């Protein structure tokens, strides 16, 4: 569906038609402004798929696995800020979505997931392809609906989009039994939202924000930890203004990367498990910690009872009251939409007493930068990511899978804009990187989208190369191939005394030939000279391209803070 083709808004011209539940579903999705649905048909959604025939407004992309569909919807949602939509049949179709639902739930991504179910007449009888998907996903959805009466469908669709896309965003499941999808109804679009007890955006408590401003005025060593919430609430400009007014150094979590410009003189890098020396030492020596849309995740805090030991006060700005004090005790709680909180804070913001502190943290940044031992004979993965950054100038949308390459992207690709890093943070889902790029490219047809994968995760959703070829989706697919499960290997080295167990990926396919089998151009480099040439070729080639960079398996991600240790106990690798 073309953007803007539903400009009639919610008053659809055929709103009073006598139609089936399946037609009502498609109409409801179009009224919500849905541009594309990712899915995979099966028996109990066939009425829905039948309704798509001859409907020119409705765009659907057939993925090659349900997990590919939900990760694509997720990448679409993260990169656009809109609600992503996917559809699957009952039983195995629905259960194949579970990992993707959990991925979106962990990272607060707005999705509406539509599943078919067996007819109501046989529900509860262990019918063919029956699974109680509502119960299975109860702990990983924001809300769920089982549609028992077709007349409820327009209201449910409207509510589901509202719930998914407001407050702390998240996945909402709509389960539609097969007979309900074929029942007839008089279609009335649903306009009103009346959800008892659901207050999506609590207005900020100004007293608490005033307390925060007072704490900043008294602070000599403040640090901001900016997380994914800054990106999700579109508050990057407000954060920039806040930092300029208060003079506070900023660290950005993995999901916060891009929410604050990496070129800014007060940016210290990413904190935590693989955080920079400057970020981690700043947190450990700060007298005031301000978390903005970051939930004090264990990969950021590491050993929680040794986190920020010198902080006199810890402030937390978050839309979800349940996050306040959950992991780290909080002194100042500013609950509300981050954009709204910062807009008010900026009217009163005062500079902190941080001038000598800023000198210290900037000195740490210069003395202890991210480094690696480059080589003229081998192609280092960090070099590859620096090269990708230089050629894109930080303007591309980068999606990653999970593992060492993900951390190298976070460290060596410098993000300028929000929504330009698409990665699985909370769940750490292998197989996410490539399909999420398909969704990001679908939602951003004019942007360059690069999917950075390891040789492990690439094989978990490689089948989705088919749809890149068929629809000419021009994702540049990067495979950092070190022939090993790198992050597992690194932990087995450092924690398990070099006892390697089941990490050898040397039997993986020839990725260039695999791309060719799907009808996609494949290129390979194993030296610096080759890397520069083939990357330029990939960038100059219209359509999808797979580029494999062969790198040494010995390379590790540093700095690293081991579980059970504090942020200042960093292992610096070759640069101890």
113: closest CA among 175, 192, 204? 175
CB atoms under 10 Å from CB of 94, counted, come to: 30
97: closest CA among 40, 146, 44, 178? 40
Catalytic residue among 1, 6, 82, 129: 129
DSSP-H helix ranges across 349-403: 355-367, 381-392
Catalytic residue among 128, 218, 220, 390: 128
Whether 365 is catalytic: no
Catalytic residue among 23, 32, 35, 66: 66
Read off φ and ψ for residue 191, nearest 5 degrees. -110, -30
Give the separation between CA 156 and CA 10, rounded to whole angstroms: 15
DSSP-H helix ranges across 143-270: 153-165, 206-218, 228-232, 236-246
Tokens of 395: 């303007």
Residue 130 makes CB contacts below 8 A (sequence gap 6+) with 90, 91, 117, 118, 122, 123
Q: DSSP letter string over 269-320?
A: ---STT--HHHHHHHHH-SEEEEES----HHHHSSGGGSSTT-SEEEEEES-
Whether 129 is catalytic: yes
Whether 511 is catalytic: no
Whether 42 contacts 90, CB under 8 Å: yes
Whether 558 contacts 381, CB under 8 Å: no
3-state helix, strand and coil shares in percent for the chain, rounded to the nearest 5: 40, 15, 45
Whether 128 is catalytic: yes
Whether 478 contacts 388, CB under 8 Å: yes
Catalytic residue among 430, 487, 560, 570: 487
Read off φ and ψ for residue 212, nearest 5 degrees. -65, -45
The burial of 2, by beta-carbon neighbours within 10 Å (0-12 exposed, 13-18 middle, 19 or more buried), is given as: exposed
Give the separation between CA 139 and CA 254, rounded to whole angstroms: 24
Give the separation between CA 460 and CA 456, rounded to whole angstroms: 7
Whether 130 is catalytic: no
Catalytic residue among 178, 245, 414, 489: 178
Give the separation between CA 203 and CA 510, rounded to whole angstroms: 55
Active site residues: 66, 128-129, 178, 487
């Amino acid at each position: 569906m073309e953007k803007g083709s539903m400009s009639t808004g919610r008053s659809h011209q055929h709103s009073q038609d006598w139609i089936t539940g399946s037609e009502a579903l498609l109409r409801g999705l179009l009224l919500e402004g849905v541009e594309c649905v990712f899915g995979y048909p099966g028996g109990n959604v066939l009425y829905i798929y039948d309704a798509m025939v001859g409907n020119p407004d409705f765009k659907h992309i057939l993925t090659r696995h349900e997990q590919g569909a939900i990760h694509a919807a997720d990448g679409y949602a993260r990169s656009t800020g809109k609600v992503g939509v996917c559809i699957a049949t009952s039983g195995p179709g629905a259960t194949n979505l579970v990992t993707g639902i959990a991925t979106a739930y962990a990272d607060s991504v707005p999705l509406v997931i539509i599943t078919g179910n067996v007819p109501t007449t046989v529900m509860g009888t262990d019918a063919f392809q029956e699974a109680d998907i509502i119960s299975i996903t109860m702990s990983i959805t924001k809300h769920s609906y089982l549609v028992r009466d077709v007349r409820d469908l327009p209201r449910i669709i409207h509510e589901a989009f509202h719930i998914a896309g407001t407050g702390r965003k998240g996945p909402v499941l709509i389960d539609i039994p097969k007979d309900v999808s074929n029942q007839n109804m008089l279609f009335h679009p649903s306009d009103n939202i009346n959800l008892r007890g659901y207050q999506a955006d609590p207005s900020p408590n100004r007293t608490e924000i005033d307390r925060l401003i007072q704490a900043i005025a008294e602070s000599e060593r403040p640090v901001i930890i900016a997380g994914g919430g800054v990106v999700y609430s579109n508050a990057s400009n407000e954060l920039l203004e806040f930092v300029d007014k208060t003079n506070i150094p900023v660290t950005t979590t993995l999901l916060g990367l891009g929410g604050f410009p990496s070129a800014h003189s007060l940016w210290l890098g990413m904190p935590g498990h693989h955080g920079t020396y400057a970020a981690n030492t700043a947190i450990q020596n700060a007298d005031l910690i301000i978390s903005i849309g970051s939930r004090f995740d264990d990969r950021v805090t590491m050993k929680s009872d040794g986190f920020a030991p010198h902080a006199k006060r810890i402030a937390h700005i978050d839309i979800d009251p349940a996050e306040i004090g959950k992991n780290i005790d909080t002194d100042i709680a500013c609950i509300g939409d981050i954009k709204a909180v910062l807009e008010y804070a900026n009217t009163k913001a005062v500079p902190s007493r941080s001038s000598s502190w800023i000198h210290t943290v900037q000195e740490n940044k210069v003395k202890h930068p991210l480094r690696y031992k480059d080589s003229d004979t081998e192609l280092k993965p960090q070099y590859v990511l620096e090269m990708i950054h230089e050629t894109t100038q930080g303007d591309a949308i980068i999606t990653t899978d999970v593992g060492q390459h993900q951390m190298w992207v976070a460290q060596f690709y410098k993000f300028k804009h929000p929504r330009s890093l698409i990665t699985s943070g909370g769940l750490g889902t292998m197989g996410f990187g490539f399909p999420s790029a398909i969704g990001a490219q679908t939602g951003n047809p004019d942007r360059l989208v690069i999917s950075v994968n390891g040789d492990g995760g690439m094989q978990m959703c490689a089948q989705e190369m088919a749809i890149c070829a068929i629809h000419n989706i021009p994702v540049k697919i990067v495979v950092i191939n070190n022939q090993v499960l790198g992050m597992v290997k690194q932990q087995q080295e450092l924690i398990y005394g070099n006892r390697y167990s089941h990490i050898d990926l040397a039997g993986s396919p020839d990725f260039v030939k695999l791309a060719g089998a799907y009808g996609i151009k494949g290129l390979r480099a194993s030296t610096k000279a080759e890397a520069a040439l083939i990357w330029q070729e990939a960038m100059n080639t219209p359509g999808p391209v797979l580029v494999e960079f062969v790198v040494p398996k010995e390379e590790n991600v540093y700095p690293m803070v081991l579980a059970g240790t504090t942020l200042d106990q960093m292992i610096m690798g070759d640069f101890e």
